[in-house]
Amino acid sequence: MRAQAFAAELDRLGPDADGRYERDERHRDDGAGQRETKPERLPLFPPLPPAAPYPLDALGPILGEAASAIARKVQAPAAIAAQSVLAAASLAVQAHADVRMPYG
């Protein structure tokens, strides 16, 4: 049933001059040879500005260099390598300190 509906829709659309099926209905022929043009669709959100580079130097000389080396070796973004280094460092030191929060 769905295949028949799909085939009927393809037949209704018909191929364009290049032999491809036109799925964009911004330009529709009204049958009299005139084309109706619909306005361009606007994006829902404005484009985001480019992200600032991850501050590897804020990790200090040891962790920053480790994150930088990992990013180069595995060809990953510096932010992913730095977050992985932070996760490993926090896992390694969590048994050595107990943090007491002011509220309990």
The answer on pLDDT for 97 being more than 90 is no
What percent of the chain lies above the pLDDT cut of 90? 43
pLDDT single digits (tens) 40-78: 888 888 899 998 999 999 999 999 999 999 999 999 999
pTM of the model: 0.52
Q: How many helical (H) and strand (E) elements, i.e. helices and strands, does the chain have?
A: 3, 2
Q: Rounded distance, CA 42 to CA 25, Å?
A: 15
SS3 state at 20: coil
User: CA neighbours within 13 Å on the CB side: how many for 72?
Assistant: 7
The pLDDT value recorded for residue 9 is: 74
Q: Rounded distance, CA 22 to CA 35, Å?
A: 14
